[in-house]
Amino acid sequence: MTGSTDHQDDGIRELDATDLPEATRLYVRVFNAPPWNDQWTETTAGTRLRQTLQTPGALGLAIRDADRIIGVAIGYEEQWYSGVHFSLKELFVDPDRQGSGIGTRLMHRLVETLQSRGVERIYLLTAHDTPAASFYGKLGFRRSRYTTLMKLDLPIQRR
């Protein structure tokens, strides 16, 4: 997957801290709706996005239409023994604009930017059998045969 280097005014810019309140509201709107049906608040979502953006090697891209953010891609670089990888933590697009190429444009720009930085691989997590999994598959992503996501739920200790 490669992107065009002629950006002119495609509306895509690096995300910064001043964009976080608006990006947070969009995040809540996207992920609290189907198929995710999460229960994000502006506080929890804002913390997640801020933590990601403050991680060393972070890169966030936002695409604007007129004066509002309509899509975001955010993650961070990680050193691996073979080179630098990028962990894509979130990609989200305004529900009213999904399916119009915005996510693809963001991903193409992300790939182009990461290639220029010498990043050799992008990793991400997404739910099985969702439109997101299909979207990433169309962009050339495939399931890793080497890794399995595992979890351990910890009981919350009240103080």
Provide the residue ranges of all domains of the chain, joining segments of one domain with +: 12-138
Looking at residue 2, what is its pLDDT? Answer: 46
User: Which is more confident, 2 or 150?
Assistant: 150
* Domain at 12-138, CATH class: alpha beta
Helix (H, G, I), strand (E, B) or coil at 135: helix
CA distances to 81, 84, 137, 153 from 103, in Å: 30, 23, 13, 32
Looking at residue 85, what is its pLDDT? Answer: 97
Looking at residue 68, what is its pLDDT? Answer: 95
For 143-157, how does the pLDDT look when each residue is reduced to its tens digit (9 = 90+)? Answer: 988 888 899 999 988
Looking at residue 31, what is its pLDDT? Answer: 97
Distance of CA 43 to the CA centre of its chain: 18
Q: 140: left (phi > 0), else alpha (psi -120 to 50), else beta?
A: left
pTM score, two decimals? 0.90
Q: Are 141 and 117 in contact (CB under 8 A)?
A: no
Helix (H, G, I), strand (E, B) or coil at 120: strand
Looking at residue 42, what is its pLDDT? Answer: 98
Instruction: Identify the residue whose tokens are 């990680």.
Output: 78
For 46-105, how does the pLDDT look when each residue is reduced to its tens digit (9 = 90+)? Answer: 999 999 999 999 999 999 998 899 999 999 999 999 999 999 999 999 999 999 999 999
Q: What is the mean pLDDT of residues 122-143?
A: 93
Please check the confidence at residue 3 and state whether its pLDDT lies above 80. Answer: no
Identify the helix (H) or strand (E) that includes residue 74.
strand 68-80
For 107-118, how does the pLDDT look when each residue is reduced to its tens digit (9 = 90+)? Answer: 999 999 999 999
For 8-29, how does the pLDDT look when each residue is reduced to its tens digit (9 = 90+)? Answer: 568 999 999 999 999 999 999 9
